[in-house]
Structures are given as C-alpha cells and as structure tokens.
Amino acid sequence: MGELFGIYKVFTPQKYRIFAVYLGTILMMAVALLNNILYGKGIGLIVTAVLLLAADVYLDLFVFQGIFGKNFGFGLLRNSDRGLKVIKKGVLADRLRSLFQHMIVMMFTGFMSRDYFIEQGYIEGPADLILMILTIGMTEYVFNTLILNISRRHETFFEGFLLDMLYILAGSAVVAGVGFLFMNESVPAPYPMLAVMGFLTIIVTYAMVERVGRRYINSFEISEKNIPGDDSGRRMWLFILIAFGLDALMIPAMYIGKSNGTDLTAFMVAQMMYPACGVALGGLLSYRRVRLPKIAYWTIITTGLITLILAASSVMLPLEFEMAGTTTTILYYISNFVIMIASVLMIVGLCVAGKEKRENAGFRFRNPGRSLLITALFIVLYFARVFILCIADGLINDSVAEAVRDFVNIFSSGSSVQLIPAIVINLPLTFVMFLGEEYGWRYYLQPIMQKKLGRLPGVILLGILWGIWHVGADFTYYSDGTGVQMLLAQIVTCVSLGIFFGYAYMKTDNIWVPVMMHFFNNNLIMFLSGDASVNAMQGNVVSWTDIPLMVIGAAVFWLFAFASIMRGEKECPLYMRKAGVAEVDTINGTKAVADGMGEAV
C-alpha cells in the first residue's frame, strides 16, 4: 500500500490531489448536507450519489483524458517495462482513492439520514444502512470508472462534453434506480445487488488499469523486445473470473429468489452471456495489436452487464407479469427486449466491421454448405435421441407401441407445429444469447483444452466443465427437488452435445454452427412440449432411472467421438493452426507444432 501511495503521488499532479481528494471531498459533503435540507433525507442520498458521479468524472478527466489522448507524453516512463508498471500502479492507486472518496461521502450522507431511514421503514438498523450505502457507493464508482474507460479525447471540446454528459446521465439513472430499489419497502433481499456491484467494482478497476497499460504500449513504436510477453494467461484468468466466478456469485441470489417464489428466468438469460463477456473483455484488454470488431465486443459486454443487473434486481424487486397464462417477472421481459436489441446491434456491428476484424475475432461464416448440412444433421440426431429415449422408456414400462405413438403425435400436434415459425423467427432476434455461451466454450476454451490434452480428451473435459457450470441453475431452476440427479443429467447432456458441437466446429471452423445447434437444442424443447412459455424448461423432476436412459439416448452423439478428425488422423483444424501452439497427439502421446499463423484471440 505504501508503494501504491508513493507512485500515486508521482503519477498525479499535486493540484489535482489537493482539489480532488481534500477540497473535492469537503465540497461534496457540503452538497450532501444541502441536499438533505432541500430534498429530504431519503432523496438527498440519491441526489448526492448522482452529483458525486458527475463531479468525480470531470475531476478524473483532468488526468485520464490526457492519458487516453493521442498527444500525451509519458516523459521518463516512456517506452519501458518499468514505465508500464508505474503507470498501471498509478491508475490502481487513483481508483482506490476514488472508491475510498465515494464511500466517505456516502457514509457521511447516509448516517446523517439514519433516523429518517429507520422511521420510514427502509432499514432496521445500522447494518442495513451500511449495506445500502456500500451498494449505492459501489454502483456510483462502477459507472464513474466505466465512463472513464469509454471517454477519450474527441475532435472538439463540445463533442466530448456532450458525450460525457450522455454517459453521466446513463450512469445517474442506474445509480438512482439502485437507490430507489433499496428505499422500496417491498424489497425482500438486497444482497444480490451488493454482490453484483462488488464483483463489478473489481472488474471495472481491472479493466481501467489494463486499458491504460494497453494505451501506454500502443502510444509509441515500442520494439518487440520491450512489449510484455504472451498475455494469454491473464486473459484465461479473466475468463475464469467472469464465466465461472460470476456464475458462482449468482447462486446465493438464485436461492434467495427461489425461496421467495421469484421466477429465475432472468438469471438464465444473464448466465448465457458470461462466457462471451470474459472472452470479449480479454480481447479488448489484450496487449496484442490485433484489429477486432469493437462494436460487437462492446455489445456483448454491455448486454451481459445489463442482463446481470436486471437478474439481480428481479430478486430485489420481483414485479410479476402475466402473459398467455404464464407468470414471470417484468424484468425478465425487459431482459428479452435487451437481447433482441443486442442481436440486431451484433448483426450491424459485424457487417460494418469488415472481413479482417471478423476473421481476427473468429466471426467469419466459413464453409457455408458443410455448415448447413452439419446443422441439419444435428436436428435429425436430436429427434433420433428423443425417439431412442421414448423406445427405452417404453421397454421399461412395457408400452413400446404407446411410446412410438406419443413420438409420432409430436409432429402432428397442432400446438407444436404452430411453434415452428416462432422458432425460426427467434433465431436472428435471440442468437446473441447462444453466441454468449458458444463463443466462450467452443471458440475460446475448446482450442486451449485440445492443445493441452488432445482433441477428444479436451472436448470431453470441456463438456464436464460445461455441465458443472450449470450447477446453480440445476438446483434452483431446471429441477424441482432433484438437483443432484439434474446435475448428473446435465453433465451427461453437455458431454454428449459437446462431442458433436466440438466435432462440428472442427469440421467447419465456423463458430456459427455450434451457435445454431445450441439455439435449436434449446428451442426445440418448445416444439416437443408444445409450450412456448418460460415453464417449458424449469421445474423438472429427474429420477435416478432417467440418467441411464439419457446415456443411451446420447449414444447418437457419442458416435462422433470415433470420427477420424477427433482421433487426430485428419489435418489439424484451422482454428488450432492459428494458435501456433503444440498440440497433443492422441495416438502416440507426442506433440506436433501446428503451422503458426499468429495467436488466436
């Protein structure tokens, strides 16, 4: 901490430190006191947070606009590894200063209003007050840092001022929304929002430090020997933190929601975005000089952030909504609207990105003929699996003829057939969710697992990890009192699908193939059940005897484990050759270096 403070003193101009830390804090406390007098103590806390956000953004821009600007000079720190470390530690120290300053002002305002909050029934004691203040303070800090991350020197002062004001208004709306959530007497559990904002505080701080580091490296023509080494390890830890860490963080929130009878479908929407968010953020913060489709990447990250906040809010404020006989939360429908907007923005962003950027990010639609054939094959195998399950169940219950009749009735049922147009229309409007998973599992993690373990073992272990990743949903959403059985069934399903998805990706080098197959895998459940509501996938009861049946049905996918390309007898897939890293040969245990074509994102 002493080293950080020392670097901060060197990194930050003295007049900035005096104004921002001392005078700024005192000024904001005075404003907080005035707010409490003029607007009432409850509203005063929210107004203080909003004003603090605006003031702190413009104070910080004195320093960070220069760093992000094209003409900023790093002086003696220029063009050196030591300079990179000093810059990053200086930014980290400044962010810690900012967080600490926010908390001081919010604590001052909150405790000055403690009696009012207790009288109004918003809180029961000091512990609840601290919980509320921490959440509002971290929310304000998160959006302050996000604004600094996306702010940069603009063509004109007026343009920059207007854009910064727009960012501040958006952040202020969220800060005010979180504040009013806590002041709503019907809020059953505020802890999910505290957990979300605590996690985002860590992520945005890390992103800020790494962005300045990347800006430092890309500002000058630094020789290759001075560029930091391979940052794939950093990106892997970031992926794990977001894809798996955020998933684990939401499990307590989902249990709270289940105990309160809240529909958890909004969590399923958010969860599907986590893996791609980890990949996109790692790509944007990487030190490698690779052109990427930033509109698409920021769309993924923003969608993940918004759906995460909506999911946590659905537990805090479970506003119910009924449509077509199905009751769920309003925030789930808002999440769906966000997904539709994001899907359209992804299409536009990828179209304008150009061939090179799509290639660098793995978004090229390669081998269209083969891709469509393998997708059609998956649909055939999907129904073959269902047919095998029906026959196996019929043999156990001595009702094979009835099982076959039930399977045939699926295709003649009017309710199921009517859902086909809806399923087709949903693909371009909701594909970003399925890209959210497959971009993490197949595009990012599969090549890494295969290079470490071999083609087939890597795919199988990836399927196991994919299944375990669903553990929170298995115990709270997908099953009703049979969480352990559901988790085992999930692992069987994910390993089986993972084998075929992995095979398809290896054959086509087209990430859109597993995306489409994942879409059909989830949406054809509506066709099988004749139910287009959110109830089609939740509340299942899985018995121990169901698991062996699932293994039998999954045999149609396990057959592709014996494909020549999966055994390493065919040429190394293109996405693995791009990685330029040694691949484990599954036949003789040796390693063969693929044709180096630059590291994959």
The three-point CA angle 303-355-507 to 5° equals 85
Split at pLDDT 50, 70, 90, the class of 490 is very high
The answer on pLDDT for 363 being more than 90 is: yes
Split at pLDDT 50, 70, 90, the class of 288 is confident
Q: Tell me the per-residue pLDDT of 96-127, one tens digit each, with 9 for 90 and over.
A: 878 887 787 777 777 777 777 777 666 677 77
How far does the chain reach from its first CA to its final CA, in angstroms? 34
Asked whether the beta carbons of 459 and 446 are under 8 A apart, the reply is yes
DSSP strand pairing (582-584 vs 591-593)? antiparallel
The helices-and-strands tally (H runs, E runs) of the chain is: 29, 4
106 and 77, same structural domain?
yes
212 and 121, same structural domain?
yes
Range of the domain at 399: 368-566
183 and 169, same structural domain?
yes
506 and 401, same structural domain?
yes
212 and 338, same structural domain?
no
257 and 111, same structural domain?
no
Asked whether the beta carbons of 133 and 107 are under 8 A apart, the reply is yes
Lowest mean pLDDT among 202-216, 279-293, 321-335: 321-335
E strand intervals along 545-587: 582-584
CA distances from 29 to 36, 43, 99, 105, 427 (A): 11, 15, 15, 6, 51
**582 found inside a domain:** no
Q: Which two tokens stand for residue 390?
A: 């029906």
What distance in Å separates the CA atoms of residue 300 and residue 270, rounded to the nearest whole number?
11
Output phi, psi for 314, to 5 deg.
-65, -25
What distance in Å separates the CA atoms of residue 469 and residue 487, rounded to the nearest whole number?
10
Lowest mean pLDDT among 101-115, 303-317, 328-342: 101-115
401 and 319, same structural domain?
no
373 and 330, same structural domain?
no
pTM: 0.81
Higher pLDDT, 287 or 462: 462
DSSP secondary structure letters along 193-228 = HHHHHHHHHHHHHHHHHHHHHHHHHHTS---GGGS-
- Structural domain count of the chain: 3
**591 found inside a domain:** no
What distance in Å separates the CA atoms of residue 287 and residue 290, rounded to the nearest whole number?
9
Half-sphere exposure of 251 (CA within 13 A, CB side): 13
